[in-house]
Amino acid sequence: VIKVVVAGAAGRMGQTVVDAVSHADDMTLVAGVDPALGSGVEEALGDAEVLVDFTQPGAVLANVAAAIEAGVHSVIGTTGFDMAELERMCQGAAVNVLVAPNFAIGAVLMMRFAADAARHMPKAEIIELHHDTKLDAPSGTAIRTAALMADASGNAPPPIHSVRLPGLVANQEVILGELGQTLTIRHDTTSREAFMPGVLLAARRVGALERSPTVGLEHLL
């Protein structure tokens, strides 16, 4: 049984993770913490094994630092923070960190297909569409998709357009264009439950990673 602390437990993603961990046969929820609940990460880490963090760009690195200090692995779903700083923190650490901008299997497939397609159709643009309470833009998924496409094709990363509207959950469209044709790869999230199989998989596997930080759920599939 894996002992899990969830940071950001008062947020919508955090609440969904708390539910999912509570219902997983092979996990125990040690604590769901959140400043809004009057609780912090450090006090909760006691005998936890994994921290799952769905907080905010300004909070996540301090949480991970506390986890490393306490010998606890981290699974990070927060986006928009300083990645270079995280890389420094992970050097020489005794525990692992997995960062994923998106834990939905469909989003992981979208990123893989977009990168593959970019090799054959070099011109592309990305449109990401999210609910109007999302704090960061462009989304972490869009930034990661663009980077993967640039790596695969050897071209500059494609432009990203960010749409913010009520009624949207989380959607992304990659459009590739070529003489007389376009190829569109689109992922739509209609419920946060879409992310839970990926989050639980990450919590199970983070301890066995060979590289830390590992970026992207695709390394576990």
Give the catalytic positions in this structure: 130, 134
Question: Judged by CB under 8 A, which of 13, 104, 111, 217 binds its own copies?
Answer: 104
Peptide bond into 35 cis (omega under 30): no
12 near its own copies, rule: CB under 8 A? no
| Contacts of residue 65, Cβ cutoff 8 Å, sequence gap at least 6 | 89
Which residue's CB is nearer to its own copies, number 20 or number 60?
A: 20
Question: Judged by CB under 8 A, which of 45, 124, 143, 199 binds its own copies?
Answer: 124
Q: Near its own copies by CB under 8 A, which window of 21-29, 52-60, 76-84, 191-199? A: 191-199
Q: Which letter, b or e, does each residue of 134-146 get, where b requires 16 or more Cβ atoms within 10 Å of its Cβ?
A: beeebbbbbbbbb
For 140, 160, 194, 200, the CA distances from 146, given in Å and listed in that order, are 10, 8, 22, 26
Burial of 45 (0-12, 13-18, 19+ CB in 10 A): buried
Q: How many CB atoms lie within 10 A of CB 189?
A: 19
Question: Judged by CB under 8 A, which of 66, 194, 199, 203 binds its own copies?
Answer: 194
Contact track, its own copies, 153-182, x by CB under 8 A: ------x-x-xxxxxxx-----xxxxxxxx
Taking each helix axis as running N to C, give the angle between helix 60-69 and helix 83-90, from 0 to 180 degrees, rounded to the nearest 10: 0
Question: Judged by CB under 8 A, which of 30, 76, 100, 195 binds its own copies?
Answer: 195
| Contacts of residue 63, Cβ cutoff 8 Å, sequence gap at least 6 | 7, 41, 51, 53, 55, 74
Q: Near its own copies by CB under 8 A, which window of 49-57, 76-84, 121-129, 207-215? A: 121-129
Q: Which amino acid appears at position 46 of this protein? A: G
Which residue's CB is nearer to its own copies, number 65 or number 168?
A: 168
Which residue's CB is nearer to its own copies, number 65 or number 137?
A: 137
137 near its own copies, rule: CB under 8 A? no
Which residue's CB is nearer to its own copies, number 72 or number 104?
A: 104
117 near its own copies, rule: CB under 8 A? yes
Q: How many CB atoms lie within 10 A of CB 123?
A: 13
Cα distance between residue 91 and residue 88, in whole Å: 5
120 near its own copies, rule: CB under 8 A? yes
Interacting residues with its own copies (CB under 8 A): 104-107, 109-110, 113, 116-117, 120-121, 123-125, 127, 129, 132, 159, 161, 163-169, 175-195, 197, 221
